[in-house]
Chains A and B, each alone.
Chain A
């Protein structure tokens, strides 16, 4: 009697497991379950990461002072270079915003970001997803884009209270709407199954795309914000027997190496950061936009001649206000 009971239990559990897999792949009904149960296993996850963390701590302690000073120097240099670039990017950003306003296109600004860390927890290295140490508690949501310092990494597919799983762009199920940076040609990338390969399907044989082209997110579909690099085209093969080009690209993000990643909230303004801004920034920011606004106005034929000044000034003020 007990025997048949065990058999029945087994069959029920099999059914439940298959049901779980189906429900979890096709719906989000299990998100609350995962959020709650996820808390229970969080201590185990921390425990599993302990050896790696300890190793890193030890190797950091073991670094000699000159080594650390070198590293510090390197980072200082990098920071200076980046802040110079940032200033340039900021003025471009302001100019871009004004031009878009003149064209009455929708505004497109910087996005709110948050730093997260990859926890290398995976029983199966082949599955193209990683776990990060931010979850619902940090307002992470399913479908959220994830970047690293070099480009788009992927998107959040599952969240629990404290962790989330990120599916990489190289996952065969992941499709990212992109465009060729050089000419604005729209395309898609899909994962090729290994960490260094992306496919670009459905492009006609006479499409203008070549080796070395950079593919950036096009913002189509509304999930990934516009303008972040995704991949670089490695080879373009023409096969006369096939209607489409065979294009292989490599992801720009360093998928196998990055530890720190950025979670992006597209459309949300960034939190104010203390930038090393020169003190006269306020004055020039007000003056410069008016100039560029005029220049843009004289080139743009759609805007009425009288409105140029006003639009330029208004945009300048807008940019100014944003910066404060």
Chain B
């Protein structure tokens, strides 16, 4: 089989990584006025969808999105919708993308997160909250830059030599 599929990570590790990503997502960092904020939850979700596709997919994405909804005190389902799509899409292309070098995966990751942003924009319009600010489209780019970091942090040691 492909790389990594024999190294199962414990479930608690996956859950903890989602929790940590949720914290990072709502951390008031204020990078460039708060707009240039990587979507850590989406990144972690995509990572697990790539390397644990049997366990993490749309369902896990939905749960992670619901966690974000609760964390931000927003309308339930807003983030869950986008993250479901991210989970599903990442699962679909996981076999193709995970054989690429990390820097090439960045492009795919950005594309998947752009789907999330698009969903967000649609929800914005449908809820009549006015158009989503254009700066929100920076999220895929910001997340893309952080992808290698996420890969290095979450990969088991046995696979880490590939990224050095």
Is A48 touching B27 in the complex (CB atoms < 8 A)?
A: yes
**Which one, B3-11, B128-136, B155-163, is touching chain A?**
B128-136
For the A-B complex, the count of residue pairs with Cβ-Cβ distances under 8 Å equals 122
8 Å CB contacts to B: which residues of A296-324? none
**Which one, A93-101, A117-125, A239-247, is touching chain B?**
A117-125
Q: Which residues of B contact A126 (CB under 8 A)?
A: 132-133, 135-136
A193 within 8 A of B: yes
8 Å CB contacts to B: which residues of A19-40? 19-21, 24-25, 30, 33-34, 37-38, 40
A158 within 8 A of B: yes
Q: Which residues of A contact B66 (CB under 8 A)?
A: 37
The interface residues of chain B, by DSSP majority, are classed as helix
Q: Which residues of A contact B59 (CB under 8 A)?
A: 9, 13
Q: Which residues of B contact A173 (CB under 8 A)?
A: 128-129
Q: Roughly how many angstroms separate A293 CA and B74 CA in the complex, as a whole number?
A: 51
Chain A 167-184 near chain B by CB (<8 Å), digits 1 or 0: 000011100000000000
Q: Which residues of B contact A17 (CB under 8 A)?
A: 62, 65, 77, 80-81, 84
How many B residues have CB within 8 A of the partner chain? 45
A165 interface neighbour in B33, B62, B73, Cβ under 8 Å: B73
Q: Roughly how many angstroms separate A24 CA and B132 CA in the complex, as a whole number?
A: 20
**Distance from B88 Cβ to chain A, minimum over Cβ atoms (Å):** 4
B25 interface neighbour in A40, A51, A123, Cβ under 8 Å: A123
Q: Roughly how many angstroms separate A122 CA and B57 CA in the complex, as a whole number?
A: 25
B101 within 8 A of A: no
Is B19 touching A44 in the complex (CB atoms < 8 A)?
A: yes
Chain B 59-89 near chain A by CB (<8 Å), digits 1 or 0: 1001001111011111111111100110010
Is B58 touching A9 in the complex (CB atoms < 8 A)?
A: yes
Q: Roughly how many angstroms separate A44 CA and B20 CA in the complex, as a whole number?
A: 8
* CB closest chain-A residue, reference B27: A48
**Distance from A128 Cβ to chain B, minimum over Cβ atoms (Å):** 9
Q: Roughly how many angstroms separate A172 CA and B26 CA in the complex, as a whole number?
A: 23
Please judge, given known A-B contacts A30-B76, A160-B73, A163-B73, whether A14 and B57 are in contact too, CB under 8 Å.
Answer: no
With a 10 A CB-CB cut-off, give which of A21, A30, A123, A172 has the most chain B CB atoms: A123
Is B58 touching A13 in the complex (CB atoms < 8 A)?
A: yes
Is A21 touching B58 in the complex (CB atoms < 8 A)?
A: no
A129 within 8 A of B: yes
Q: Which residues of B contact A75 (CB under 8 A)?
A: none
Is A120 touching B88 in the complex (CB atoms < 8 A)?
A: no
Is A13 touching B84 in the complex (CB atoms < 8 A)?
A: yes
Q: Which residues of A contact B133 (CB under 8 A)?
A: 126
Q: Which residues of A contact B19 (CB under 8 A)?
A: 44
With a 10 A CB-CB cut-off, give which of A45, A51, A129 has the most chain B CB atoms: A45
A18 within 8 A of B: yes
Q: Which residues of A contact B72 (CB under 8 A)?
A: 121-124, 131
B73 interface neighbour in A30, A40, A48, A121, Cβ under 8 Å: A121
B146 within 8 A of A: no
* CB closest chain-A residue, reference B91: A6
Is B28 touching A121 in the complex (CB atoms < 8 A)?
A: yes
With a 10 A CB-CB cut-off, give which of B27, B73, B91, B132 has the most chain A CB atoms: B73
B81 interface neighbour in A14, A122, A125, Cβ under 8 Å: A14
Is A37 touching B70 in the complex (CB atoms < 8 A)?
A: yes
Q: Roughly how many angstroms separate A158 CA and B27 CA in the complex, as a whole number?
A: 21
Is A40 touching B70 in the complex (CB atoms < 8 A)?
A: yes
B2 within 8 A of A: no
**Distance from A78 Cβ to chain B, minimum over Cβ atoms (Å):** 28
Q: What would be 16 A-B contacts, judged by CB atoms less than 8 Å apart? A: A10-B88, A13-B80, A16-B62, A17-B62, A17-B77, A21-B76, A21-B81, A25-B75, A34-B70, A38-B70, A49-B28, A121-B71, A123-B72, A123-B79, A125-B34, A173-B129
Q: A125-B33, A164-B73 are in contact. List 17 more A-B contacts (CB 8 A).
A: A13-B84, A17-B77, A30-B76, A38-B70, A38-B73, A40-B70, A41-B22, A41-B67, A41-B71, A44-B23, A44-B71, A48-B26, A123-B25, A123-B26, A124-B136, A127-B129, A172-B128
